[in-house]
Structure 1
Amino acid sequence: MRRSELGSLGTKRSTSRVVKPFLNEEEYKRTEDIVKKFENGIGKELHQKLLERAKTRRNWLEDWWLNVAYLDLRISTQIHCNMGGPGPFIEHCWPPKEGTQIERASINLWHTLKFWDLLRAEKVAIERSGDAVLDMNQFRMLFCTCKIPGVTRDSIGSYFKTETEGECPSHLIVLCRGRVFAFDAIHEGNMVTPPEIFRQLTYIQKRCHSEPDGPGLAALTSNERTKWAELREYLIDLDPKNLTHLEKIQRSLFVVCLDDSSPHATPEDYTEITRLGLTGDPTVRWGDKAYNSIFFSNGVCSAFCDHAPFDAMALITMLAYVEKKIIESEGKWKGSDKVRDIPWPEELVFTVDQKIISEIGRAKELYYKKVSDLQLVHYAFTSFGKALIRKKKLHPDTFVQLALQLAYYKCHGRPGCCYETAMTRRFYHGRTETIRSCTMEAVEWCKSMLDPSASNYERLQLMHEAFAKHNKMRKECENGKGFDRHLLGLLLIAQEQGLPVPELYVDNAFTASGGGGNFVLSTSLTGYTRLSGSALPMVNHGYGFFYSIRDDRILITCSSWKSCPETDAEVLCRTVFQCFQDMLQLTVAAQL
C-alpha cells in the first residue's frame, strides 16, 4: 500500500482557483497578494517541516485528521457528525409491516455477524478502484469500536481482532425502552442462528413491554462532548459497576436498537426512515458506537454510525453484503429452527442517582429541541439514472454535482461553496480529500443557463468544460494531489511550532470559499448501489446533500435547518430534480 503522499506547495494556483467564484476583483487581488506572500515566505518553511513529518510516517495526516475532524470537537457529535441511512429492503423482500420487527432483525443481524466472521478470517474481498488496490483498514473499525468522551479530546477504543491476532469480543448490546441488554453471538464455538437471535430479542422485548421503562442512559451520549465526559466520570465514581457496563458497551460487536416508531416509507420517499434513523429516540441509540443497527416497529431498518472511525463506503460495503444475502434467501431463514439452550440476555443495570436522572432529562430536552429544527427530505428521482447519463458520455457523479451547483444558483442567486468527499484509500490508511465543486467553469455554465440570450450550443460547450474540470479535480484528489488536507497540514504544523496563524487562514476568502469547515454545501456520493445515507449540514446556513446513483434513478437526501430563513431542503431537492431534466434536455437540444 502506497505511503500517503505530500504534493508540492502549489498553494497559489490552487487557492486562486477555488476562491475566485466568491470574490470581486479587488478582494481577489488582495487574496492573490496574501497567497503569494505565504508561498514565498512562511508557507515554504511550513512545507519543509511537513515534509520532515511525512518522512517518519506512512500517513502524515492520519492522527491529525482524526483529532481535528472528529475527536477535538466539543459539540454534540451524535447530532452534527454521525451518519446513517435506511435499509433498502422495502424495495424487495420486506415492505413495512407491523409485527415483523424481531423476525427481520434476527435475519439481518445474522448476516451482519457472518460479515464479521469473514472479516475475522480475512476473507472479505480487497476492494479496487480501476487498477488501484484500496486500503481496507477502516473495516476493522466496523465492529467492537466505540468513541470514548474526554474532557478536551475524545479517544477511540477499538477491540476488534482477526483470528490470527487473537480473541475478539463477540457480544451484542440491545437497547430497548431505555434499558440495556447484552448477549453473546457465539455459543460453544458456534454462531447463534436467526431462530436463536429471535429468542433472545423476543425475551428482551417482552420484558421491556411488560415492565417499566429504563432510565434511558444512552441519551447522555447525545450531549456536548465535555459534558458527556464529565457525566461519564461521575457515573463511574457513583459505582465501579457502571464502568464495567460502559466498557461492555464499548467492546461490543455493535448496538442493536429496538425502536417503537413506525416510519412511513416507499421506494420513492425514504424521508421518514432517514430522519428517524439520524435523529430518532436518543434513549435507543448509543451515539458513540461505531455501528448502531436500528429496527423499527414496522420492520423497516436503518444504520446509525459515529463518523470518527470510518467513512461511509466501508459501511456501505458491509450493508451491500447483507442486502445481497437477504435477497438470495428471499428475506427468510431457510435453515434449522432448532434453538440451543443458550444463556438468556443479561441486563446491564446502571446505578443512577437523581443528578443522572435529571441530566438524562436535560440531554433529551436539548436533543429534541435541536433535531426538531431539522428539515430533511429523502426522495428518488425516477426519470432516469446512471444508464442514460453514461449513454450521453457524461460522468454520473459530476452530473449530480453540476445539477446541484445550478440548483443552488437558481435558489440563492449566487455560487455555493461546496465540499464533495473524494476517497484517498489508494494510500496507506487513506480517508478523504475535498473536491471543491464550485469552480469558475461551473459558475460560468450556471450563468449561461440563466441567461436567456445564451444559445444551447454555448451552454453545452460551457457544461462540457465544467464537466472536464470536475473530472480532473476528482482524479487529482483521489491520487493524493488535493489541496485542502495539505493546507490543513501547514496550519497544524504552524500551531505545533507555536507560530502565529498565517494571514492566509484569516483572510475572508478562506472562509467564504468554505475553508475551516465553512462549506455551504456538504456533499457526498454514497455509491452506485441501493444503499444511501446522509449526515447533517456543516453550517447553519448550509445544506447536507448526499446521493446514490442507480441505473434507473437517483436518490437524494437533502437537509437544512428550519431556523435559517434562506435555506429550504425541499425546494433545493426539487430544483435539483428539475436541473437533471434541464441538463438532459440541453444534450438533446444542442444536437438538433
Structure 2
Amino acid sequence: MAEARSAAAISFAVTHDGVSVSYDQELLRDIWHTFQRSYKKRYARFLNDFKTGMFPANPITFSLVVVAIAIFSVFHQDVSFGIVPFIQHYILHYIVGDGILGQTISVLIASLLVWFLLVQTIRLTLKALLTYKGWMYENVGKPVSKPTKIWLGILHLIGSKKPMLHSFQGALPHLPLPSLDETVQKHLESMRSILSDKEYEELEFLSERFRKGVGRRLQRYLILKSWLSTNYVTDWWEEFVYMRQRSPIMINSNYYGLDSMREVPTTNQAARAANMVFAALQFRRLVERQEVSPFAISPRTKVPFCTYQYERLFNTCRVPGEEVDRLLTWADARHVACFHNGCWFKVIVHNGKRLLDACELQHQFEAILKGDWRPQRGEQHLGALTAGDRTPWAQTRRAYFRSGVNKTSLNDIERSAFVVILDDEEVGYDENDSEKLDHWADTMLHGKAYDRWFDKSFNFIFTKNGHVGSNTEHSWGDAAVMAHFMEWCLLQDLMVYGYDENGNTKGEPQVKIQPERLKWDIPEAAVSQIEKSYSVARSLVEDVEMAILVWTDYGKGLMKKLGVSPDAFCQMALQYTYYKNQHKFSLTYEASMTRLYREGRTETVRSCTVEAADFVKAMLDSNQTAEDRLALLRKASEKHQQLYRDAMCGKGIDRHLFALYVIKRYLEEESPFFDKIFPPTYLLSTSQTPLNQCEQDMPAHISTDDRMRLVTAGGGFGPVADRGYGVSYIVVGEEQVSWHISSKISADNTSSNEFREELKRSLIDMKRLFTDTQPKKDK
C-alpha cells in the first residue's frame, strides 16, 4: 500500500507539448515528514551514542582541556605531551604556516586527542571499579565495610552526573569465567541432596575424570572465547536455548504478566487499550532518548546494570527458520498490529508529525470493536502458526507469505511496535473464587492458541472488561525488563493519565484516523498447515494446568522477623511443598540475573541444597523443636543467599557447564560426564518477579494503601519439564505473596491445584516457626 502510494506521488506523461509532471502535494509532504523523522532519529541516536561513549565526561570538560592547553601554550609551556608542537611544525606548517591560525588549530586538535585519552582512562578506571562485588556479600543489618562505603560513594558521585540509559555499557565488566575445578566441585555439591550414596559416588568418579581429562581442553577453548567476546555465554545461550529450538514457543518459552488485581480504572476496553498503548509509546521514546535509568538494583545504591535488552523491547520480532530462527529489530515503527474477533488490523500511532494522543488511539480501537468484521479465509487461525512447531511455520512463511498482499500484511504485523489484542474474554480477581484468577493466567499464557502473535516481542492483551496483561517472547529479553516496562505503564495509566467520568480517555481528538484492515490471500495449502499448527497448539493448551495463589496471611514482614530473606523463605517453602507433594527432592532451578556484566542475562541458582533438605526433613520430624527447625531454616537461607550472590557475580554453575557442553559438541568430543548430567532436568523450575523498579517515577502523593491497591499479581510461565512444576512468585509488601503454579495434566505425578493446597499448608507450618519461638508477650 505504501509503495503504491509513493509511486503515485509523482507521475510523468509525454504530450505533444513535452513532458508533463504531476504530483500529489499532500503525499509528498507526508514523505518529507517521514524522511525528516527518520534522519532526526538517526542524528539523535548518533548524538546519544557519542554522549554515552564519553560518559562521565561532557562538552564542558573538553572546553576546560582546550582552555588549559591554550593558556599554557601562550606561556610557551606544553602540557599536551608534545602533540601541539608536532601538529603545528610537522603537519600544519606546510598548509597554513606558523601563524596564529596554525597554532589555534593545533591546540584544538591536541585538546581533542588529550581529552579523548583522558576520557578513555576514566572509563577504564570505571570498568575496574565496577568489577568490585564485595558490596553483594555485605551482611544485612550489620555495618557496611569501609571499602564498600568508599565504592558506593564514588558510584553515587558518578551517578549524580545524570547518566543515560547506556552510559555504563562500555564500562561494564565482562562476565568472568569460573575455574573448571570450582565449577565441577560446586556441581557435585548441588547434586548431593538428590542422589543416593551410590549415584553420588559414580558422579564423583565421572567428575574427577572430566576435571583431569577432556574438561581441561574444553576450558582452554572457552578461555579463548571469553577473551575474544563481550560475554562468553550469551550468544550461545540465545542461539541454542531459544533460536534453534524447533518445538512451539507458546507455553514452552513465552511468559505472561498481569496488571492490578483490585483496581480496574475503566471497563471501557478501547479506552484502557488507548491509555496503555500511549504509555508504552512514551516508554519507547524514553528508551530511544536513553532517558531510562541504568540503575536497576536500587535508586539509592546506584549500581548500574546492563541495559542492552531495552533496545529489543520494541519494533522486534522473532522470525522462523527451518533450522534456526532470527531475531530482527527495526529502527522505527509508526503503527501497532491489532487482533480482534479473528481479524488483523494496522493501527497508526504516529501521523508523521507526532505521536497520536490516547483519545485519538481510542477512536481507532473503537472503530475496530464496533465494526462488522468477518475473517478472511485462513485469517482467524493465522496466529496459530506462531504457536505450533517452528519448522512448518518457516516453510509456510517462505512458500506463501513472501509476495503480494500476504507479504505486506505479514510485514505490518512483524514490523509493528508491538501487538495489541482486543480480547473477547472477561477476567478478574475474587478472593473467594480461585478459578477466576486461574482463568486470567490461562488467558495471558496462551489464550485460544490462535489469538496471539507469539513471535512478537510482546502482546498487550486487553480483556472485554478492561483488564490488561502481556504475553512476552523470551529470546529478546528476560522478565525483569518486561516487569519494569509493565510497572511503568501501569503507573502512568492509573496515576498520571487517568480517565474521565465516563471511563473514556481524557482530551478531544485533533485528528481521526481509521485503522487499516489487513488483507490476505491465503491458499488452501497454507490454510491446511495453519489448521495443523492450530491442532498442535490446542493439544498444548489442553494439557496445561494453571493455579494461582494470592497469599495474604503474611508477607515479607514476617519473613524478616524470622531473620531470613524473603526470596530464601519462598524457596524453602517450595522445597518443603515439593517434597510433600512428590516424596522426594529434585533438581531445582531458580533464575538469577547476571546483568551486573555486559550483555548478561541469567544464571541458575540450584535451590535444592543439602541445607534445604535438612530443613524440610526437620519440618516433617515430630521430634524436632520449633527452635531447631528455625535454626535449620536460617542456615538453609544463608546458603541460598550465598548461592544467589555467587550466581549474580558470575560464579554460577549452569552457564559455565552449558558453554563447555557447546564446545564439546563442536569438537565432537566424548564425555561420560556430560552424558550423565546433560541436559539437566529441572522438575521444579522457579522465578521471582521483581517489583518496585519505578521508585524514581512514583508520584510523591501515592500512599502505602494506594500502592497495595495498585499492586499486580505478577506473572508466570508454563511447565519446563513434562513431569515437573513451574512456579513464579512475587513478594508484595509486608502482607502478600502471589504464586503462579503450572504443570501438565498428562503427567500422572503432578497437579497444580494439589500443589497450591499443599503450599498453603506449608506457609501455615512455616508461620508457626515464628509464633512457637516467640515469648507470649510478642505473639
TM range (shorter): over 0.9
Q: CA deviation at 1:107?
A: 1.2
Q: CA deviation at 1:191?
A: 1.1
Q: CA deviation at 1:369?
A: 2.2
Counterpart of 1:113 (choices 276, 281, 296) is 281
Matching residue of 2:362: 198
Q: Per-residue displacement from partner, 1:469-507 (whole Å, max 9, x unpaired)?
A: 10000000000100100001111111122323x111112
Q: Distance in 1 between matches of 2:560 and 2:453?
A: 41
> What's the TM-score once normalised by structure 2's chain length?
0.71
Change (3 A) 1:565 1:331: farther
In structure 2, stretches of 5+ residues that fail to align are 1-171, 693-710
Matching residue of 2:732: 550
Q: Per-residue displacement from partner, 1:332-386 (whole Å, max 9, x unpaired)?
A: 1698632233442222212101122222223223222221111101120000112
Q: Are 1:479 and 2:649 counterparts? A: yes
Letter aligned with residue 202 of structure 1: E
3-state SS of 2:427 partner: coil
Q: CA deviation at 1:390?
A: 2.1
Q: CA RMSD in A?
A: 1.9
Matching residue of 2:675: 506
Contact 1:517 1:538 in 2 (8 A): no
Q: Per-residue displacement from partner, 1:6-26 (whole Å, max 9, x unpaired)?
A: 111113311210111121111
Matching residue of 2:599: 429
Q: CA deviation at 1:211?
A: 7.4
After TM superposition, list the pairs within 5 Å mapping 1:314-463 onto structure 2.
314-329=481-496, 331-332=498-499, 337-463=507-633
Question: For structure 1, which segment, 474-483 or 263-272, has the greater mean C-alpha deviation from structure 2 after superposition?
Answer: 263-272
Q: Distance in 2 between matches of 1:349 and 1:565?
A: 45
After TM superposition, list the pairs within 5 Å mapping 1:486-501 onto structure 2.
486-500=656-670
Counterpart of 1:233 (choices 390, 398, 409) is 398
Q: CA deviation at 1:185?
A: 1.1
Counterpart of 2:716 (choices 534, 537, 540) is 534
Q: Are 1:561 and 2:724 counterparts? A: no
Letter aligned with residue 543 of structure 2: D
Q: Are 1:294 and 2:461 counterparts? A: yes
Q: CA deviation at 1:196?
A: 0.7
After TM superposition, list the pairs within 5 Å mapping 1:66-105 onto structure 2.
66-88=238-260, 90-94=261-265, 97=267, 100-105=268-273
**Aligned sequence identity (%):** 27
Q: Per-residue displacement from partner, 1:297-348 (whole Å, max 9, x unpaired)?
A: 1211210011110000101101111111122147416986322334422222
Letter aligned with residue 390 of structure 1: K
Q: Distance in 1 between matches of 2:588 and 2:345?
A: 42
Letter aligned with residue 151 of structure 1: E
Q: Distance in 2 between matches of 1:584 and 1:262?
A: 35
Change (3 A) 1:449 1:391: closer
Contact 2:592 2:605 in 1 (8 A): yes
Change (3 A) 1:232 1:211: closer
Q: Distance in 1 between matches of 2:404 and 2:598?
A: 40
Q: Distance in 2 between matches of 1:421 and 1:352?
A: 42
Q: Are 1:516 and 2:516 counterparts? A: no
Q: Are 1:280 and 2:450 counterparts? A: no
Q: CA deviation at 1:224?
A: 0.4
Q: Distance in 2 between matches of 1:304 and 1:137?
A: 20
Q: Per-residue displacement from partner, 1:390-421 (whole Å, max 9, x unpaired)?
A: 23332001110000000011111111321000
Contact 2:360 2:511 in 1 (8 A): no
3-state SS of 1:570 partner: helix
Q: Per-residue displacement from partner, 1:53-75 (whole Å, max 9, x unpaired)?
A: 11001111121000111001111
Q: Distance in 1 between matches of 2:640 and 2:422?
A: 43
Letter aligned with residue 350 of structure 2: I
Letter aligned with residue 398 of structure 2: E
Letter aligned with residue 47 of structure 1: Q
Matching residue of 1:187: 351
Contact 1:422 1:474 in 2 (8 A): yes
Contact 1:178 1:218 in 2 (8 A): no
Contact 2:319 2:326 in 1 (8 A): yes
3-state SS of 2:719 partner: coil
Contact 2:630 2:769 in 1 (8 A): yes
Q: Distance in 1 between matches of 2:399 and 2:224?
A: 42
Counterpart of 1:586 (choices 755, 766, 769) is 769
Q: CA deviation at 1:285?
A: 0.5
Q: Per-residue displacement from partner, 1:439-491 (whole Å, max 9, x unpaired)?
A: 01101111111111222222222111111110000000000100100001111
Letter aligned with residue 682 of structure 2: F
Matching residue of 1:221: 386
3-state SS of 1:434 partner: strand
Change (3 A) 1:202 1:453: same
> What's the TM-score once normalised by structure 1's chain length?
0.93
Counterpart of 1:30 (choices 173, 181, 202) is 202
Higher RCO (C-alpha under 8 Å, 6+ residues apart): 1
Contact 1:259 1:281 in 2 (8 A): no
Change (3 A) 1:23 1:489: same
Contact 1:11 1:39 in 2 (8 A): no
Alignment coverage as a number of residue pairs? 573
Q: CA deviation at 1:424?
A: 0.5
3-state SS of 2:507 partner: coil
Q: Distance in 2 between matches of 1:340 and 1:464?
A: 61
Which protein is bigger by CA-based radius of gyration?
A: 2
Change (3 A) 1:147 1:210: closer
Contact 2:346 2:515 in 1 (8 A): yes
Q: Distance in 1 between matches of 2:459 and 2:654?
A: 31
Contact 2:449 2:541 in 1 (8 A): no
Contact 1:386 1:396 in 2 (8 A): yes
Q: Distance in 2 between matches of 1:12 and 1:278?
A: 37
Question: For structure 1, which segment, 209-218 or 173-182, has the greater mean C-alpha deviation from structure 2 after superposition?
Answer: 209-218
3-state SS of 1:292 partner: strand
Matching residue of 1:572: 755
Counterpart of 1:148 (choices 302, 319, 344) is 319
Letter aligned with residue 618 of structure 2: S
Change (3 A) 1:108 1:517: farther
Letter aligned with residue 229 of structure 1: A
Q: Per-residue displacement from partner, 1:119-155 (whole Å, max 9, x unpaired)?
A: 1111111123254311111111110010000001111
Contact 1:542 1:560 in 2 (8 A): yes
Question: For structure 1, which segment, 451-460 or 331-340, has the greater mean C-alpha deviation from structure 2 after superposition?
Answer: 331-340
Change (3 A) 1:138 1:208: farther
Change (3 A) 1:517 1:73: farther
Contact 2:454 2:472 in 1 (8 A): yes
Letter aligned with residue 231 of structure 1: T
